[in-house]
């Protein structure tokens, strides 16, 4: 059974069918790419998967569980974490606290214990600190643990966003244009980071990207969207040599 | 972690030091009776500034009706104290009065929060503003009395209570509650201030506090990170209302005649507390305590200057604003005094963290 199974997903905004009959199957451990021209509906698919929009039709299953009409929060708890096209960090909080917000669902103590710093507070906070530092080390952010998130350089902000998403303990990680605004060196580093996430956490990843070097470099399978419809789906190499894809998106 | 604990301890230290100094001055007879009368108000304004900073600075929602919660805490606790004046001994009565004042204010915070906190933007400011005014006017038309038959309530006039001869009018409409026992003093005010500081500063450094600040910084990302946005907003707002209620209990047990007047609970009073929070630094709990104390005492201490009083007060407001928020001065301050230097007492938390 596939980890993520999406059938006949559709949504309309007014008269515009932004996503029309979208299907995708992602197996556990795969690195899957979602590409297509601007306005094709890629981010809308992400927003449907994470419950920001509710679909008009279709069904989304994660690990066999129907998550179609759940809220963003429930979907996150069910195991989908995401990053955003325009970075959305908790800017006025230290780097480590950004990650600890993500950890909060797995490391719990009561509100009263938190307000009075009694009971399990010390022990659980220590465990959270350790786990957060472990994550930050993986992303090479441990040196900046007390920096405010807004003071990090761009590339590191991207990494922190991925670290925060990983902190929620997801089964599936959605990356929305992780290489947007990056220079070739930073993109190269990002590719290493994504490879690292897969290796370290055995993570299944679905990513939206325009940088074809990144897509052809790391994605195993691709889905091409055009005007809200699936144009082509399959192994990266085959998809990228498909004449339809070349006309619609890549150009001659 | 250590730096945060140290920062919190500095705050408690400042409050305790101020308490010891003022208490010593009082015992050696160096404090005028006018100034002595200002000490308890100073503590409850500091408490409500802490409460409002939790709402505005930590949760990031603008509330301009916090005096309404203070009003509820004041009246509910004063009603209890007056009704039980001859039944219960002072200490347990005053403790229960605190529980009632805090509880009722928290309940109202929760009820107001249900419809409002689901909305985004400026709605909370508008609704809290209206709430503060409404609560004041509603309380002004309450008449409650107790006699041998039990409790009587009307919204018409004291005569309409139709009480027995042994009856006792407790809440008398616009004349409010007269003769609430004077149980609050400076020491109790400082204890309440320390407890509210303890709760708020600890909350900020807990998983719930981080979730609340995450919502402030970016609620879309907070949702996607699994933070229960509505729940945490409710939590922060209710705690903030509860602390404002505690300030109200101090207020009502320090005043002979408690009336729901504009002077204490109106729009201007709420704005004044917002001024304490903004000038002390939004999100900086220690700053709001210091700003509340300084800005409450200043106009009173400047009384000797008559006509020039408000002129000097406004100049001080402007200077504080510049010292606190001007980027040039912040940079200079950090260079000269270090990040936690003397003037850093006022510094925004953002710079320190």
pLDDT band at B348 (very low <50, low <70, confident <90, very high): very low
Yes or no, beta carbons of A148 and B1 under 8 Å apart: no
Name the token pair of B87.
């039944």
- Judged by CB atoms closer than 8 Å, whether chains meet at B203 and A168 is answered as no
pLDDT band at residue B2, thresholds of 50, 70 and 90? low
Report the interhelical angle of B186-204 vs B33-53 (nearest 10°): 20
Q: Is B46 on the interface with A (CB under 8 A)?
A: no
Contacts of A105 in chain B (CB under 8 A): 226
A80-135 tens-digit pLDDT: 999 999 999 999 999 999 999 999 999 999 999 999 999 899 999 999 999 999 99
Chain B residues touching A165 at Cβ < 8 A: 224-225
- Asked if A129 and B350 come within 8 Å (Cβ–Cβ), the reply is no
pLDDT of residue B305: 78
Q: Is residue B204 a contact partner of residue B58, using CB atoms and an 8 Å limit? A: yes
Nearest to A93 among B199, B214, B227 (CB): B214
Angstroms from A233 CA to nearest CA on chain B: 28
pTM of the shown model: 0.90
Q: Let me know if B35 is exposed, middle or buried by CB neighbors in 10 A (0-12, 13-18, 19+).
A: middle
pLDDT at A241 over 50: yes
What residues of chain A lie within 8 A of the CB of B199, using their CB? 115-116
Residue of chain A minimizing CA distance to B208: A111
According to the 3-state scheme, what is the secondary structure of chain B?
CHHHHHHHHHHHHHHHHHHHHHHHHHHCCCCCHHHHHHHHHHHHHHHHHHHHHHHHHHCCCCCCCHHHHHHHHHHHHHHHHHHCCCCCCHHHHHHHHHHHHHHHHHHHHHHHHHHHCCCCCCHHHHHHHHHHHHHHHHHHCCEEEEECCEEEEECCCHHHHCCCCCCEEEEEHHHCEECCCCCCCHHHHHHHHHHHHHHHHHHHCCHHHHHHHHHHHCHHHHHHCCCCHHHHHHHHHHHHHHHHHHHHHHHHCCCCEECCCHHHHCHHHHHHHHHHHHHHCCCCHHHHHHHHHHHHHHHHHHHHHHHHHHHHHHHHHHHHHHHHHCHHHHHHHHHHHCCCCCHHHHCCHHHHC
Banded model confidence at residue B350, pLDDT cuts 50, 70, 90: very low
B206 touches chain A (CB under 8 A): yes
- Do B211 and A148 lie within an 8 Å CB cutoff? no
CB spacing of A104 vs B207 below 8 angstroms: yes
Q: Chain B residue closest to A80 (CA)?
A: B224
pLDDT mean across residues, chain A: 92
Those residues with Cβ within 8 angstroms of residue A192's Cβ, 6 or more apart along the chain or in another chain: none
B202 and A165 within 8 Å at the Cβ level: the answer is: no
Is residue A168 less than 8 Å (CB to CB) from chain B?
Answer: yes
Q: What is the pLDDT of residues B195-251, one digit of tens each?
A: 999 999 999 999 999 999 999 999 999 999 999 999 999 999 999 999 999 999 999
How open is the CA angle A155-A161-A165, to the nearest 5 degrees? 150
Please write the tens of the pLDDT for every residue from B320-330.
Answer: 888 777 888 87
Do B228 and A168 make contact, defined as CB atoms within 8 angstroms?
A: no
Residue in chain B closest to A128 (alpha carbons) equals B207
Band (B344; pLDDT cuts 50, 70, 90): very low
Q: What is the reported pLDDT for B69?
A: 95
Q: Which of B207, B224, B235 sits opposite A72 (nearest CB)?
A: B224
What pLDDT digit, counting tens, does each position of B271-287 carry?
999 999 988 888 899 99
Measured between CA atoms, how close is A243 to chain B, in angstroms?
A: 37
Percentage above 70 pLDDT, chain A: 100
Q: What angle do CA B212, B216, B220 make, to 5 degrees?
A: 100
Mean pLDDT (whole number) for A32-53 = 92
* B225-244 residues touching A, CB cutoff 8 A: 225-229, 235, 239
Task: Give B29's contacts (C-beta < 8 A, 6+ positions apart).
Answer: none
Is any Cβ of chain A less than 8 angstroms from the Cβ of B217?
A: yes
pLDDT digits (tens, 9 = 90+) for A193-228: 999 999 889 999 999 998 888 998 999 999 999 999
- Asked if pLDDT for residue B353 goes beyond 60, the answer is no
User: What would the mean pLDDT of B8-16 be, rounded to a whole number?
Assistant: 93
What's the mean per-residue pLDDT of chain B?
87
Which residues are registered as beta bridge partners of A57? A10
B205: nearest CA partner in chain A: A114
CB contact under 8 A, A73 and B226: yes
- Count Cβ–Cβ pairs < 8 Å, chain A vs chain B: 108
Q: By CA distance, what is B349's nearest residue in A?
A: A92
For residue B138, name the pLDDT band (cuts at 50, 70, 90): very high
pLDDT value at position B162?
Answer: 78
Which residues in chain A have Cβ-Cβ distances shorter than 8 Å to B1?
125, 129
Tell me what pLDDT residue B338 has. 60
Is residue B349 very low, low, confident or very high in pLDDT (cuts 50, 70, 90)? very low
Per-residue pLDDT reduced to its tens digit, B154-170 = 888 877 777 777 778 88
């Amino acid at each position: 059974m596939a980890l993520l199974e999406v059938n006949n997903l559709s949504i309309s905004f007014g008269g515009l069918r932004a996503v029309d009959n979208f299907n995708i199957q992602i197996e556990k451990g795969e690195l899957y790419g979602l590409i297509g021209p601007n306005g094709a509906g890629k981010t809308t698919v992400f927003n449907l998967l994470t419950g920001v929009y509710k679909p008009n039709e279709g069904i989304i299953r994660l690990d066999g569980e129907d998550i179609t009409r759940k809220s963003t929060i429930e979907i996150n708890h069910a195991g989908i974490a995401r990053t955003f096209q325009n970075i959305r960090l908790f800017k006025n909080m230290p780097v480590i606290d950004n990650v600890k917000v993500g950890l909060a669902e797995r490391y719990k103590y009561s509100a009263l214990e938190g307000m009075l710093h009694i009971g399990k507070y010390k022990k659980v906070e220590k465990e959270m600190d350790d786990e957060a530092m472990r994550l930050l080390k993986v992303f090479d952010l441990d040196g900046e643990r007390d920096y405010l998130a807004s003071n990090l350089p761009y590339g590191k902000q991207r990494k922190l966003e991925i670290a925060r998403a990983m902190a929620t303990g997801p089964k599936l990680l959605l990356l929305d244009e992780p290489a947007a605004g990056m220079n070739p060196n930073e993109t190269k580093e990002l590719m290493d980071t994504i490879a690292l996430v897969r290796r370290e956490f055995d993570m299944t990843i679905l990513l939206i990207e325009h940088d074809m070097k990144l897509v052809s470099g790391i994605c195993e399978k691709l889905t091409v969207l055009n005007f809200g419809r699936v144009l082509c789906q399959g192994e990266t190499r085959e998809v990228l040599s498909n004449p339809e894809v070349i006309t619609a998106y890549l150009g001659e | 972690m250590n730096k945060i604990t140290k920062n919190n301890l500095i705050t408690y230290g400042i409050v305790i030091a101020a308490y010891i100094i003022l208490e010593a001055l009082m015992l050696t007879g160096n404090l005028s009776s006018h100034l002595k009368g200002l000490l308890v108000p100073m503590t409850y304004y500091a408490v409500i500034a802490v409460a409002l900073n939790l709402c505005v600075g930590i949760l990031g929602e603008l509330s301009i009706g916090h005096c309404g919660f203070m009003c509820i805490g004041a009246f509910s606790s004063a009603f209890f104290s007056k009704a039980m004046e001859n039944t219960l001994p002072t200490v347990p009565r005053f403790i229960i009065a605190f529980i009632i004042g805090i509880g009722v204010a928290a309940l109202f915070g929760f009820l107001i929060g249900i419809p409002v906190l689901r909305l985004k933007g400026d709605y909370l400011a508008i609704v809290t503003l209206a709430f503060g005014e409404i609560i004041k006017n509603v309380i002004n038309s309450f008449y409650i009395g107790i006699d041998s038959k039990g409790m009587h309530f009307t919204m018409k006039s004291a005569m309409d209570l139709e009480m027995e001869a042994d009856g006792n009018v407790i809440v008398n409409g616009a004349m409010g509650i007269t003769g609430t026992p004077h149980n609050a003093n400076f020491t109790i005010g400082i204890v309440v201030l320390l407890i509210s500081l303890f709760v708020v500063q600890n909350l900020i450094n807990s998983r719930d506090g981080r979730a609340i600040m995450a919502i402030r910084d970016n609620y879309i990302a907070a949702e996607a990170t699994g933070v229960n946005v509505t729940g945490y907003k409710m939590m922060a707002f209710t705690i903030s209302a509860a602390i404002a209620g505690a300030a109200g209990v101090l207020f009502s047990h320090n005043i002979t005649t408690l009336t729901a007047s504009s002077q204490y609970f109106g729009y201007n009073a709420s704005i004044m507390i917002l001024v304490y929070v903004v000038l002390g630094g939004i999100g900086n709990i220690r700053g709001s305590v210091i700003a509340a104390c300084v800005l409450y005492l200043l106009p009173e201490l400047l009384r000797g200057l008559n006509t020039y009083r408000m002129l000097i007060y406004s100049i001080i407001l402007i200077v504080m604003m510049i010292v606190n928020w001007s980027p040039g001065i912040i940079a200079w301050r950090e260079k000269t005094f270090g990040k936690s230097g003397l003037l850093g007492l006022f510094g925004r938390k953002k710079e320190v963290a």
